[in-house]
Amino acid sequence: MENLATTWVGATAKQISRAVRRGDTTATQVVADHLEQIAISDPALSAFRVVRATEAIVEAEKVDEQEDLANLPLAGVPVAVKENTPVAGLPTWHGSAAARTGIAEDDHEVVRRLRGAGAVVVGVTRMPEMGLWATTDDPDEATRNPWSLDRTPGGSSGGAAAAVAAGLVPIAHGNDGLGSVRIPAANCGLIGLKPGRGVIPVDLGREDWLGLVEHGILATTVADAALGFSVLAGRSPAKLTPPERLRVGVGLRSPVQGVRPDEPNREAVSTAAKLLVDAGHDTVKAEPDYTTSLGLSGLMTWFACAYRESQGLDLSKLQPRTRRHIRLGKLAWNRGWARQGPRDAWRAKSIAFFEENGIDVLLTPALAASPPPAGGHASGSWLANMRTNVSYAPYAAPWNVAGLPAIVVPMGLRPDGLPVGVQLIGPPDSELLLLSIAGQLEVARPWTRQAFV
Backbone angles phi, psi at 45, to 5 degrees: -100, -35
156 tagged catalytic? yes
Question: pLDDT value at position 4?
Answer: 46
Contact 339, 211 (CB under 8 A): no
Beta pairing class for 120-125 and 247-250: unpaired
Catalytic residue among 82, 157, 254, 370: 82
Spacing of C-alpha 105 from chain mean position: 25
Closest alpha carbon to 132 in 110, 155, 165, 152: 155
Q: pTM of whole model > 0.85?
A: yes
Question: pLDDT value at position 162?
Answer: 98
82 tagged catalytic? yes
Contact 394, 366 (CB under 8 A): no
Closest alpha carbon to 213 in 145, 308, 121: 308
Pick the CATH number of 13-293+336-444 from 3.90.1300.10, 3.40.50.1100, 3.30.70.270, 3.50.50.60: 3.90.1300.10
Q: Which residues contact 57 (CB under 8 A, 6 or more apart)?
A: 28, 31, 32, 35
Segments of the chain with pLDDT less than 50: 1-4
Count CA atoms closer than 13 A to 93's CA, side-chain side: 22
Catalytic residue among 41, 96, 148, 156: 156
Catalytic residue among 41, 157, 180, 230: 180
Question: pLDDT value at position 425?
Answer: 99
Domain map of the chain by residue range?
13-293+336-444
pLDDT digits (tens, 9 = 90+) for 210-260: 999 999 999 999 999 999 999 999 999 989 999 999 999 999 999 999 999
Longest dimension (CA), the chain: 62
The continuous run of DSSP H or E covering 112 comes out as helix 109-116
Question: pLDDT value at position 369?
Answer: 98
